[in-house]
């Protein structure tokens, strides 16, 4: 067995489940992530007073990947087609087009996309989409946590 095979065999897969939520769009929003490696779990969450749902979706994935202390094999599950399609399909085109869309407009949320792109390159990430509110236990869990993390206006 060569060294690469040994390393791949010993690398644990980290499952990450993410979600973002927003009251109004824009409006106050929350994000959440559940990281699972074997029997260990970690919940992350936060919120912003004025944001968009897409920014919260990106923030959840970014914060989760940033939490990993070493290069990992990751299965990241999201209910956001914006996140899943953005990172797997649109991002390479945006980069080759100077961070412009096919309509030649600047990419929205470029700060988060650039940060997510940089941190994702440190890992082997498989991006998976699931339908929202369809009974997926972990997706329901992060949805509830994201909603609970929305700052309440005073």
The residues carrying an active-site annotation are 19-20, 57, 79, 133, 143
What whole-number distance in Å separates Cα of residue 16 and Cα of residue 1? 30
Q: Strand pairing of 73-78 and 13-22?
A: parallel
Burial of 105 (0-12, 13-18, 19+ CB in 10 A): exposed
What whole-number distance in Å separates Cα of residue 132 and Cα of residue 92? 26
Place of tokens 């899943």: 84
């Amino acid at each position: 067995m060569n060294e690469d095979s040994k390393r791949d065999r010993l690398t644990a897969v980290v499952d990450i489940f993410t979600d973002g939520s927003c009251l109004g769009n824009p409006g106050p929003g929350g994000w959440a992530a559940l990281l699972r490696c074997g029997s260990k779990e970690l919940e992350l969450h936060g919120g912003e007073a004025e944001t968009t749902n897409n920014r919260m979706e990106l923030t959840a994935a970014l914060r989760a990947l940033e939490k990993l202390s070493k290069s990992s094999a990751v299965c990241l599950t999201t209910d956001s087609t914006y996140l899943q399609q953005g990172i797997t399909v649109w991002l390479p085109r945006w980069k080759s087009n100077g961070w412009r869309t096919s309509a030649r407009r600047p990419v929205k949320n470029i700060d988060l996309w650039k940060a997510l792109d940089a941190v994702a390159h440190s890992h082997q990430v498989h991006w998976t989409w699931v339908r929202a509110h369809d009974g997926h236990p972990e997706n329901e869990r992060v949805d509830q946590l994201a909603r609970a993390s929305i700052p309440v206006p005073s």
